[in-house]
Amino acid sequence: MAAATTEIRWHGRGGQGAKTAAIFLAEAVLDQGKHSQGFPEYGPERRGAPVRGFTRISDAPIRLHCSIAEPDYVIVLDPTLLDSQAAGVPDGASDDTVFLINTVETPANIRKRLGIKGGKVHTVDASLIAQECFGRPIPNMPMIGALAAVADVITLENLVASLVVRFKKKFSQAVIDGNVTAVERAYKELVSE
Amino acid sequence: MKQIYVGLTGNEAVATAFKQARPHVAPAFPITPQTEMMHKFADFVADGVVDTEMILVESEHSAMSAAIGSAATGARTFTATSSAGFALMWEVVYIAASLRLPICMPVVNRALSGNINIHNDHSDAMGGRDAGWIQLWCENTQEAYDHALMCWRIAEHKDVRLPVMINYDGFIISHTAESLHILPDEDAWKFVGPKDLKAGYSLLDMDRPITVGPLDLTDYYFEHKVSQIEALKRAPKYIAEVYKEFGQLTGRHYSFFEEYRTDDADLVIVALGSTAGTAKDVIDAQREKGVKVGLLKIHMFRPFPAAELAKALSKAKVVGVMDKSASFGGWGGPLFNEIRSALYDLPARPKIHNWIYGLGGRDTDTKQIVSLIEQLQAIAKGREAETVNLLGVRL
């Protein structure tokens, strides 16, 4: 049931890795014996268009096969989506929803921009971290690092281990090391209210 | 047997099962959302993990034609399609069944055009329900994987010899990474087993030369159609056997349909595919409130298990059939019509209503299913209601 399932909604733009992050996290938590689901919302495929991704994590098998309307966590990879009504970042959020925003702004400012009173807002400059660590401003992996700091879905240790195993098939050691550093930095540099 | 716990999309899971079944031939033509399945399988071939001969054809009509030629020689053969691709292979889909060729084919369910829509509904496969194929339907990635292993044993059984269509919802299953258990390659192979290349007949048998698919007019065509009808009548026995053996091997037990909390249910929802999973969560919540509601999810739509379904639904007060396809100008969706017909001979029939839902991938969330259950409750209390209804549409 929903109560035991953690529901995460990702907001990004085409090319920022929202889909990859949603599915990567779903696979990474399997190593902790969890059940999971990761899926994107498919529309016209073009770089820069708003895209959403979804991850469900549970101790029990997951049977729901619908979109996530009332997320426990909302992760925003691109701060320009905050003002887009079409992107619907605050849609369905409750007083318990946790927002993780890739931005240079403070949580208080973000709260104003989103127009929310409840919930919790955390910020981290994941694009900068990504640029500095592996030379490309792709914020998805550091944002998972930030999530590990606030959500009880994956430990930093397991996240890093999972990243190393899964990236080995595709990337050089330098890229892997850069991503590990980025994940660890975001985990530490997260700004909370 | 130790199984492997992995996260795979529905397409990846089915490609993995097919790799484990070591098919001889796979004609391929891309169409969303099936493409990724064949793409993944092509990776296995390119990596030398399986030595299937892939034939890259120029259309779905050609894909099925090539599959027919291949299967007629006795080779284990599959192809895959969705939506308009399935529609394009129409003519030859019937021929595959008429020639009794054990081809396996995932139909990764997607809406038909127009307007152009890449998302899930069941219009594609429902159009092919009278083509003579066995049709099996899956709720999630695990079920898609399992059926992609079991289909070979069913299709190739000497007393069945029919093509099998495995249905799983486009994007909702095909592109969702889910946790599932897969068999180690050796155990999967032990279960599927090698194809008997001489089973039935073979085009390559020079001592017994035969013609496949000749002119068949008023003299014997009717008898050949009856042989197809009879083969589909025999199939459930062997499907049940394969389900049983697979259950003993894996602990995952399948039957023609799954009954979820129906024992004392006054209200029963009937559904196909991924929506059944969402409905189970809603049913659990409604049960907490004392609502006696259950679900009947159909795995085997062709052949249609009418007698078994009638028995299973006989105690319900109200049955709500969910159709993810429309029958334009017809009276309700295809699943509704078959269920309603199956219940006709019961001495005391439940009330049966239909809800058309989710066309073109419209998200079917828990709220829609709650609304459906509330409508079933009202009908049980005597409220008049339309026979055919819509769910989740803007009006």
Using one digit for the tens of pLDDT, what is the confidence trace for B333-373?
Answer: 999 999 999 999 999 999 999 999 999 999 999 999 999 99
B207 Cβ contact partners less than 8 Å away, ≥ 6 residues apart: none
Interface test with A, best of B179, B274, B286, B367 (most A CBs within 10 A): B179
- At residue B218, the pLDDT reads 97
pLDDT at A171 over 50: yes
- At residue A2, the pLDDT reads 45
User: Chain B partners of A36 at a C-beta cutoff of 8 Å?
Assistant: 7, 177-179
Q: Which of A107-111, A116-120, B76-80 has the lowest mean pLDDT?
A: A116-120
- At residue B1, the pLDDT reads 85
- At residue A42, the pLDDT reads 80
In angstroms, rounded to a whole number, what is the distance separating the alpha carbons of residues B31 and B8?
20
Q: Which residues of B154-168 are buried (b: 16+ CB within 10 A; e: fewer)?
A: bbbbeebbbbbbbbb
Inter-chain CB proximity A65 and B5 less than 8 Å: no
Q: Please report, rounded to a whole number, the percentage of residues in chain B having pLDDT higher than 90.
A: 94
Q: How many distinct structural domains can be found in chain A?
A: 1
Which tens digits make up the pLDDT trace of B229-263? Answer: 999 999 999 999 999 999 999 999 999 999 999 99
- At residue B267, the pLDDT reads 98
Give the residue from chain A lying closest to B281, CA to CA: A1
* pTM metric for this prediction: 0.96
pLDDT at B204 over 80: no
In angstroms, rounded to a whole number, what is the distance separating the alpha carbons of residues A22 and B177?
9
Can you give the residue range of the structural domain that contains A71?
2-192
Tokens coding A162: 């999972």
Inter-chain CB proximity B178 and A30 less than 8 Å: no
Tell me the pLDDT band of A43, cut-offs 50, 70 and 90: confident
Give the residue from chain A lying closest to B172, CA to CA: A65
The CATH code of the domain that includes A8 is 3.40.920.10
The segment(s) of chain B belonging to CATH 3.40.50.970 are 4-250
| Across B276-304, average pLDDT | 98
User: Chain A partners of B275 at a C-beta cutoff of 8 Å?
Assistant: 65
Tell me the pLDDT band of A98, cut-offs 50, 70 and 90: very high
User: Chain A partners of B365 at a C-beta cutoff of 8 Å?
Assistant: 66-67, 69
- Give B308: exposed, middle or buried? Use CB within 10 Å, 0-12, 13-18, 19+: middle
Inter-chain CB proximity B277 and A69 less than 8 Å: no
Judging by DSSP bridges, how do beta strands A5-13 and A50-58 pair with one another?
antiparallel
Tell me the pLDDT band of A156, cut-offs 50, 70 and 90: very high
Is there a contact between B229 and B293 (Cβ–Cβ < 8 Å)?
A: no
Which tens digits make up the pLDDT trace of B99-117? Answer: 999 999 999 999 999 999 9
10 Å Cβ neighbour count for A5? 20
Question: Whose CA is closest to B122, among B373, B383, B321?
Answer: B321
Q: Please report, rounded to a whole number, the percentage of residues in chain A having pLDDT higher than 90.
A: 84
- Looking at CA atoms only, how far is residue B310 from chain A in angstroms? 26
Which tens digits make up the pLDDT trace of B37-72? Answer: 999 999 999 999 999 999 999 999 999 999 999 999
Judging by DSSP bridges, how do beta strands A73-76 and A5-13 pair with one another?
parallel
Tell me the pLDDT band of A45, cut-offs 50, 70 and 90: low
Instruction: Please check whether residue A128 touches B, CB under 8 A.
Output: no
- Residue B301, CA distances (Å) to A96, B208, B249, B257 in order: 43, 36, 24, 9
Which tens digits make up the pLDDT trace of B310-334? Answer: 999 999 999 999 999 999 999 999 9
User: Chain B partners of A42 at a C-beta cutoff of 8 Å?
Assistant: 118-119, 171, 175
Instruction: Please check whether residue A62 touches B, CB under 8 A.
Output: yes
User: Position of tokens 């049709």?
Assistant: B135
- At residue B186, the pLDDT reads 98
Radius of gyration over every alpha carbon of chain B, rounded to an integer in angstroms = 21
- At residue B200, the pLDDT reads 66
Inter-chain CB proximity B140 and A2 less than 8 Å: no
CATH number 2.60.40.420 is the correct assignment for the domain at B4-250? no
To the nearest 10 degrees (0 to 180), the angle between helices A156-168 and A18-28 is 110
Instruction: Please check whether residue A168 touches B, CB under 8 A.
Output: no
The topology under which CATH files domain B257-391 is Rossmann fold (3.40.50)
Side-chain-side CA neighbours of residue B106 (13 Å): 40
User: Chain B partners of A2 at a C-beta cutoff of 8 Å?
Assistant: 281, 366
Residue A10 CA to chain centroid, in angstroms?
5
Give the residue from chain A lying closest to B169, CA to CA: A65
Q: Please report, rounded to a whole number, the percentage of residues in chain B having pLDDT higher than 70.
A: 99
- Contact pairs from chain A to chain B, CB under 8 Å: 71
User: Chain B partners of A35 at a C-beta cutoff of 8 Å?
Assistant: 179
DSSP E strand boundaries for B57-163: 104-109, 134-137
Give the residue from chain B lying closest to A42, CA to CA: B171
- Residue A119, CA distances (Å) to A97, A107, A116, B84 in order: 5, 11, 8, 45
- Give B175: exposed, middle or buried? Use CB within 10 Å, 0-12, 13-18, 19+: buried
Inter-chain CB proximity A66 and B364 less than 8 Å: yes
User: Chain B partners of A25 at a C-beta cutoff of 8 Å?
Assistant: none
Q: Which residues of A111-150 are buried (b: 16+ CB within 10 A; e: fewer)?
A: bebbebeebbbbbbbbbbbbeebbeeebbbbbbbbbbbbe
- B281 → closest Cβ in A35, A38, A63: A63
ipTM of this predicted complex?
0.93
Give the residue from chain B lying closest to A43, CA to CA: B118
- At residue B22, the pLDDT reads 98
